[in-house]
């Protein structure tokens, strides 16, 4: 069975603060994929990043960075110098061979960035 | 490319009515999915398909049916609508297992 936990239901910050969204996953497979998606207030779901289980390198894309640690089964997402446009619900997802690689999503973290 | 399109965007149904949510993708993806999103509950998989003619149940399939006669289309059928089916429905596709999913804009369904 696979499971994704996003323990933070809602985070509220002031613009320019750094914020980290946590994602903890459970899997018995050695081959799996992790994802982050963004859902802005308009409602669409937008893909942000994909990481496979064999690549633990951290990734940075502009103000966004991701920290993948297999030792703690975590795939955390940090936004540096947050902006109002970052306000959205962020979902972490896992797909693994034991689940036919069908993605399972966490419940999401709602990020509110105040001006 | 339009990506993944869904119709309708909004719909109100009366209890016991039926309807079909349409989903089409123009990316030639083999994998297609239907999710429902309820407040604070993330995305729950209803059905998925790994190719034309092949469908399988997800986590919450009761009350729904699907078909996949072509690569492009993956309609979701609701029979005998119930208030518990009030939700936002998302269709998604991916090119292969383990790849990112592309989502449609969603259908907001209310059953009264």
- Give per-residue pLDDT as tens, A7-55: 999 999 999 999 999 999 999 999 999 999 999 999 999 999 999 999 8
Q: Which two tokens stand for residue B70?
A: 């072509």
CB contact under 8 A, B106 and A43: yes
Instruction: Check: CB of residue B50 under 8 Å from CB of residue B98.
Output: no
pLDDT at A50: 94
Q: Which residues of B touch A (CB under 8 A)?
A: 33, 35, 40-43, 45, 48, 58, 88, 90, 92, 97-103, 105-106
**CB-based contacts of A69, cutoff 8 Å, min separation 6:** A56, A75, A76
Question: Per residue in B16-73, pLDDT tens?
Answer: 999 999 999 999 999 999 999 998 888 999 999 999 999 999 999 999 999 999 999 9
Q: What is the layout of strands, in order, in the sheet containing B19-25?
A: B4-7, B19-25, B76-78, B64-66
Instruction: Check: CB of residue A47 under 8 Å from CB of residue A61.
Output: no
Interface of A with B in 94-113 (CB under 8 A): 95, 100-108
Residues in chain B closer than 8 A to A37 (CB atoms): 103
Interface of A with B in 1-60 (CB under 8 A): 9, 33, 35, 37, 43-47, 50, 52
**CB-based contacts of A70, cutoff 8 Å, min separation 6:** A53, A56
pLDDT at A98: 73
| Phi/psi of residue B48, nearest 5 degrees | -145, 165
Q: Does pLDDT of B97 surpass 90?
A: no
DSSP state of B112: -
Closest CA to A89 of A20, A35, A22, A37: A37
d(CA B65, CA A97): 25
Minimum CA–CA partner of B91 in chain A: A45
């Amino acid at each position: 069975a696979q499971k994704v936990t996003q323990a933070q239901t809602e985070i509220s910050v002031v613009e320019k603060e750094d914020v980290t969204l946590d994602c903890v996953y459970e899997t018995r497979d050695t081959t799996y994929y992790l994802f982050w998606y963004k859902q802005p207030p308009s409602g669409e779901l937008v893909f942000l990043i994909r990481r496979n289980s064999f690549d633990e390198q951290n990734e940075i894309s502009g103000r966004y960075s991701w920290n993948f640690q297999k030792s703690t089964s975590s795939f955390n997402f940090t936004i540096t110098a947050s902006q109002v446009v970052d306000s959205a619900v962020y979902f972490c997802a896992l797909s693994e061979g034991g689940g036919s690689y069908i993605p399972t999503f966490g419940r999401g973290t709602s990020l509110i960035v105040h001006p | 490319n339009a990506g993944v399109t869904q119709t309708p965007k909004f719909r109100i149904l009366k209890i016991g009515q039926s309807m079909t949510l349409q989903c089409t993708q123009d990316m030639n993806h083999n994998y297609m999915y239907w999710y429902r999103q309820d407040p604070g509950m993330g995305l729950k998989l209803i059905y998925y398909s790994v190719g034309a003619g092949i469908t399988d149940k997800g986590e919450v399939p009761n009350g729904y049916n699907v078909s996949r006669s072509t690569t492009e289309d993956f309609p979701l059928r609701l029979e005998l609508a119930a208030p518990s089916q009030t939700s936002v429905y998302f269709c998604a596709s991916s090119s292969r297992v383990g790849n990112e999913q592309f989502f449609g804009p969603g259908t907001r369904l209310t059953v009264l």
